Amino acid sequence: MSVLDLSRLQFALTASFHFLFVVLTLGLAPIVAFFQTRWAVTGKEVHERLTRFWGQLYIVNYAMGIVVGLAMEFQFGLHWSGLMTFAGEVFGAPLATETLVAFFLESTFLGMWIFGWRRLNRWVHTTLIWLVVLTAYLSAFWVMVANGFLQDPVGHVVEDGVARIDDFGALLTNPQAVGALLHIVPVCLLTGSVVMVGICSWHFLRGTPDVDFFRRSLRVAVVVGAVAATFAIAFGFEQFGYLTEGKELALGGSAAERADFQAEMEALHGPGDWLPPTWISFAWPLMEISGTMYGLVFYGLLFFLIKNAFDRTRPAWLRRFWQRFYVWTVPWPFVVVACGWLIREVGRQPWVVYGELTTAEAVSGHEAGTVLTSLVLFGLLFATLAALDWWLIARLARRGPHDLVLGSDGIGREEPELVLMGRD
C-alpha cells in the first residue's frame, strides 16, 4: 500500500472509532439529564438511581472517546500537513472552537457534575448536567462546520495558495454542515435508546428483581427512540440529497451512465472527481432498511408498552423472543453509523477539500514504513480502548442499580455523612 493509502486507512480507523464513542455519548447525555431533572423536581429515590446508573455508563464512554479524539486531532498534523497548509485557517478555526468548547467547558462542567454529587445544591447540580449536554452538542455543531467545509468549501477565498475565511456566516450556515447536524442528532438519540432497550431487555431475560427500575428506563428509551427514528429517517433522506446533488447515478447507474456522470464532473472540477467505488453502494440501502426497521420497532414497542406487552400475562416465549432480539441488535446502530460515515467521506474521494485540494496533495511526505508503524500502534490502541469500553459498560450494566459507583465513595458504597449534608 502507498503512503496515501496507509494514511487514509489510519485516519478512517481513527475517525470511525472516535465517532462510535461520540454517537453513544451524545445519545445518553440528554436522557441522563432528563432523569436528573425528574429527581430534582420529585425528590424520589428511583429517579436518583436512574440518573446514577445511566450516568456512569455515559461517563465511561465519554472518557474513552476523549482519548481517541485526541489521537484524531493529532493526525491532522501528523499525516495531513498539506490540508493544514492549504486550509488550516478555515478548517482549523471551527476545530479550535470545538476544542475550547469540548475540553474546557464540557469537561469542566462534567467534572463538577461528577465530583459535586451530594456536595452541591440539587438545582445547581442539575444545571451542570444540562450544561454538559449543551456544550456537547455545541461541539458536534463545530465539528460538522469543519466537515461541511470539506464537503462544500464555502465562505472563503484563496490567496497565495492558502484558504482564508471570507464569509464566516456562510461557513456556519453551510447546508452540508446544518443538514448533517440535523441528521446526526436524532441518530445519536436513537443509538442511545437502542442501547438502553437492549440493557433493559437483558435484565428482563435474567429475571431481574428491579422490574420497576428497568420498566421506567424502558419507557423513556422507547419514547425517545420512536421520536428520534422519525427525524433520523426524514433528515437522512434530506442529507443524502445534499451529498449527492444529482449524483445518484454514481451509486447505482449503468456503466454508460457512470461514464457520462464522470465526464460531467471532470468538466466542472478536473480529472478524478466524486465517484464512489462500487463496493460502497451497499451502504445506502442498508441505512435505508435499518432506519425503517428501527422506526417500526420503536413504534411497535411504544404500542406494546401502552398495551402492557411486558406484563406476565403475555406468552413467555413471545416476550423472551423479542427481549433476545433487542439484546442482539445493540451493535447494529453502530454498523449503520459507520455506513453513513462511508457514504459521506469515501464518496468525496479523491478530494479532501471538494474541488480544491486532493488527498494526494494533502498527505504528508512520510515513508510508508513510518505510516504503517503508526497505523499498527494506533490500531492496537483503539481496539484495546473499544474492548475496554464495552467491557466496563457491560460490567456496570449487568450489575444493575446496585453498588453504583457514581455518587458514591468510588467503590460503590454510599457516603452517609455526605448524604446528610446534601439533603435539602
Tell whether omega for the bond before 350 is within 30 degrees of 0, i.e. cis. Answer: yes
The answer to whether 240 and 284 are in contact (CB under 8 A) is yes
Report CA 71 to chain centroid distance, whole Å: 17
**pLDDT tens series, the chain, 424 aa:** 788 888 888 888 888 888 888 999 999 999 999 999 999 999 899 999 999 999 999 999 998 888 888 777 777 878 888 888 998 889 888 988 888 887 789 999 999 999 998 889 999 999 999 999 999 999 999 999 999 899 888 889 988 889 999 998 999 999 888 988 999 999 999 999 999 999 999 999 888 888 889 999 999 999 999 899 888 888 887 776 665 554 444 444 566 665 665 666 555 555 455 555 666 667 777 787 887 787 777 777 776 665 554 455 566 767 788 788 888 889 988 988 888 888 788 877 778 888 888 888 888 888 888 889 988 988 898 888 888 988 999 999 999 898 888 877 654 455 544 443 343 3
Q: How many Å apart are CA 311 and CA 248, to the nearest integer? A: 47
CA distance linking residue 200 with residue 205, whole number of Å: 9
**Nine-digit cell string for 1:** 500500500
Residue 16: CA count within 13 A, CB half-sphere? 22
Q: Name which of 290, 322, 318 is nearest 218 in CA terms.
A: 322
